[in-house]
């Protein structure tokens, strides 16, 4: 149990209170007593509204469940269904045409197109890696992955010059496309540059000279060609080129939500302290690697001399968003006078913004936002009334911190069905502070299943990717965002590539995201960001936005993915159960026992996939749906769980911190898995957080 201290009628974890007061408020010139008094008043206004919104979610879900039960066994009537959703207020009228008014947005968000990382805030090393992923080595990315399918495999330890030659050739081909030389010359034939520089087909692409080489620009993204004829790689190169660095992760979301396991005041304090560290610029992490002790810190800016001899620089780090939690969960870190925990999302808004305010005041080593903005991503909002609540909450936080109106910008995660169906109205509710919308297939599928839980058994999980609703969802997100004026002012994003070891497949498939008109998309690692940056050189996103087909209608989005029949064979049902149970157990056991909210989890075929709570939401909801409709029995699910527990144990055999599932079926991890499946239909919106938090707290208590 943490020690609590009194602050303006609130009970606050003592360590958290000291951190907020000394390291955040006093550093920013704020009076702690005034902050707590103002925050208590804010809570008095917004806690009842927060609770009312959650009650509204449950009331709408009950109405939808009742509709499906009443119409079970009847042919689905799309027109009647849509009229019903309008009648109960699930669907709201479209706003009149409008253009967002967001101002003071950094160019990485507003006018550039490039990769985006999402990183768990609790892991300082990963956080530093992500923040430093603004620049990445194309040579390393090609050499260390399967992104070049025809390149020979490395034949021995250390550097293989044969594979290296294939990497260098591929990098030269990229330069020929992105920064073509004058008179049809090729980078493959380039000799060492002389004082006259490198003759380009378009001389305006030359940005300047760095200490290590030459800097160019294409589609708004910078490329540094480094020359070092004395290096191992440069020695064998006619031009002495030693590497090609790409501007890669333009933006990074520092995540306090789905990728972390933060269940108490101590966890939240670590999260806030790491966010403060990257904002101040002094976060470091020391770790052992390869027998050495290494210390990682934030990268400096890239200095260069422009073509007329002036000193200049480019950011060395990603522009950082911070993702708060949604409206559902509460936190024991701060309690009201009646002893109840406050909404965690309200706590996040106040504290992460207070930390961000230090950047606005210029208190950090570098500026995160050069336009004086604080960027907060808000997940799991259901419809425009919840977006309006967030807008009002951010108004109140700005007042509390004495920030100009709309200093706090918002990213809206389009990952819940009611938001997708009312996206224009959601954007309108935050029209003067919105800087980001995106699609998230994983959470969106979980909500799709839960919303229509009573409609019937859902199609198999893999078949969801071919569903009419998903095609409509992805296209409508971009089209509606463009219609609301986001281009040039905000990001339109796409979801995660989940397989960090399958970069060859990513290079083939993920180019669809910039082609769709999205100016950012999520990738699972800095290396993936470097490779995905190639797609934004291949596609001019802002030109692509001008030639997109019309968006599908709302009826397509509302198509329910119920299976046409349930005549699956026993082997097909068993395979589906095994797939869901293995993924669920593989994620839950690390979350509960180790507090790991996102990691590379081997799937049923032993392919490592980056998984967070969104993947868990799909698996648990899909199993609950099939149980509800009799596709499978409790006994079949338990049989699968036991067999998959053995598989997960084997997959984690080399982890000294791992606690086996077999033989520990009464432990919190296995019991959490049971709850998620057998009580999944009753969970609010199908979310996994309430059960995960409960069982993680039990695990932490020993």
List active site positions. Answer: 323, 612
Q: Is 242 exposed, middle or buried (0-12, 13-18, 19+ CB in 10 A)?
A: buried
Residue 281 — φ and ψ, nearest 5°?
90, 10
Please count the residues of the chain.
702
Query: In 3-state terms, what secondary structure has residue 681?
Result: helix
Chain CA centroid to CA 384, Å = 21
CA-wise closest residue to 381 among 369, 392, 397: 392
Q: What is the 3-state secondary structure (H, E, C) of 76-96?
A: CCHHHHHHHHHHCCCCCCCCC
List, in sequence order, the alpha helices (H) in 361-422: 384-401, 417-421
Q: Can you give 513-528 as a three-state secondary structure string?
A: HHHCCCCEEEECCHHH
In SS3 terms, 568-586 reads as CCHHHHHHHHHHHHHHHHH
Separation CA 561–CA 225 (nearest Å): 49
Please state, in angstroms and as integers, the Cα–Cα distance from residue 281 to each residue in 112, 323, 371, 444, 541, following that order: 24, 19, 18, 35, 32
Residue closest to 685 by CA, chosen among 390, 412, 443, 451: 451
Nearest to 554 by CA among 86, 138, 119, 190: 86
The region that residue 385 occupies, defined by phi over 0 for left and psi between -120 and 50 for alpha, beta otherwise, is: alpha
Read off the tokens for 264.
Answer: 């108490």
Residue 538 to residue 381: CA distance in whole angstroms:
34
- Positive or negative, the CA dihedral 441, 446, 452, 457 is positive
- CB of 442 within 8 A of CB of 615? yes
How far is it, in rounded angstroms, from Cα 144 to Cα 167?
10
């Amino acid at each position: 149990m943490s020690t609590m201290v009194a602050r303006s009628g609130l009970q606050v974890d003592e360590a958290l209170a000291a951190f907020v007061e000394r390291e955040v408020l006093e550093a920013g010139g704020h009076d702690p007593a005034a902050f707590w008094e103002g925050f208590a008043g804010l809570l008095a206004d917004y806690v009842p509204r927060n609770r009312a919104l959650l009650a509204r979610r449950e009331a709408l879900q009950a109405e939808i469940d009742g509709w499906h039960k009443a119409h079970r066994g009847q042919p689905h009537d799309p027109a009647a269904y849509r009229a019903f959703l309008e009648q109960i207020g699930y669907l709201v009228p479209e706003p009149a045409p409008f253009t967002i008014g967001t101002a003071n947005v950094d160019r990485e968000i507003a006018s550039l197109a490039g990769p985006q990382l999402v990183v768990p805030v609790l892991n300082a090393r990963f956080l530093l890696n992500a923040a430093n992923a603004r620049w990445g080595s194309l040579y390393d990315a090609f050499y260390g992955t399967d992104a070049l399918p025809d390149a020979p495999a490395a034949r021995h330890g250390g550097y293989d010059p044969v594979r290296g030659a294939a990497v260098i050739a591929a990098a030269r081909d990229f330069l020929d496309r992105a920064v073509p030389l004058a008179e049809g010359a090729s980078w493959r034939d380039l000799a060492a540059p002389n004082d006259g520089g490198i003759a380009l087909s378009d001389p305006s692409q030359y940005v300047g000279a760095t200490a290590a080489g030459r800097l160019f620009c294409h589609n708004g993204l910078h490329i540094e060609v480094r020359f070092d004829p004395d290096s191992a790689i440069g020695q064998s190169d006619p031009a002495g080129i030693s590497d090609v660095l790409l501007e890669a992760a333009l933006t990074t979301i520092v995540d306090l939500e789905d990728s972390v396991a933060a269940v108490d005041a101590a966890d939240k304090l670590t999260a806030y302290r790491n966010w403060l560290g990257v904002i101040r610029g002094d976060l470091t992490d020391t770790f052992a690697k390869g027998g050495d002790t290494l210390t990682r810190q934030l990268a400096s800016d890239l200095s260069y001399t422009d073509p007329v001899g002036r000193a200049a620089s480019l950011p060395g780090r990603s522009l950082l968003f911070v993702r708060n939690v949604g409206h559902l969960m509460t936190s024991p870190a701060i309690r009201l006078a009646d002893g109840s925990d406050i909404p965690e999302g309200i706590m996040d808004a106040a504290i992460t913004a207070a930390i961000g305010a230090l950047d606005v005041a210029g208190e950090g080593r570098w500026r995160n936002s050069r336009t004086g903005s604080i960027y907060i991503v808000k997940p799991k909002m259901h419809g425009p009334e919840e977006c309006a609540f967030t807008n009002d909450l951010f108004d109140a936080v700005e007042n509390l911190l004495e920030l100009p109106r709309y200093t706090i910008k918002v990213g809206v995660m389009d990952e819940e069905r009611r938001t997708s169906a009312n996206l224009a109205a959601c954007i309108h509710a935050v029209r003067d502070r919105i800087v980001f919308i995106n699609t998230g297939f994983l959470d969106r599928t979980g909500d799709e299943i839960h919303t229509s839980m009573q409609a019937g058994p859902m199609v198999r999980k893999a078949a969801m990717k071919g569903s009419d609703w998903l095609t409509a969802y992805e296209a409508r997100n971009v089209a509606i965002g463009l219609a609301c004026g986001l281009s040039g002012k905000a990001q339109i994003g796409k979801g995660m590539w989940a397989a960090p070891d399958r970069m060859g497949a990513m290079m083939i498939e993920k180019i669809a995201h910039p082609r769709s008109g999205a100016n950012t998309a999520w990738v699972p690692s800095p290396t993936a960001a470097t490779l995905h940056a190639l797609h934004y050189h291949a596609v001019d996103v802002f030109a692509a936005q001008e030639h997109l087909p019309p968006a599908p209608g709302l009826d397509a989005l509302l198509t329910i993915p119920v299976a046409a029949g349930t005549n699956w064979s026993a082997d097909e049902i068993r395979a589906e159960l095994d797939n869901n149970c293995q993924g669920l157990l593989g994620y839950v056991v690390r979350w509960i026992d180790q507090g790991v909210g996102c990691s590379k989890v081997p799937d049923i075929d032993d392919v490592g996939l980056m998984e967070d709570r969104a993947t868990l939401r799909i698996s648990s909801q899909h199993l609950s749906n099939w149980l509800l409709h009799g596709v499978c029995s409790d006994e079949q699910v338990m049989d699968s769980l036991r067999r998959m527990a053995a598989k997960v144990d084997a997959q984690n055999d080399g982890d000294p911190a791992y606690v086996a599932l077999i033989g520990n079926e009464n432990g919190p991890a296995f019991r959490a898995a049971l709850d998620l499946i057998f009580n999944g239909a009753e969970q609010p919106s199908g979310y996994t957080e309430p059960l995960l938090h409960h069982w993680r707290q039990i695990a932490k208590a020993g």
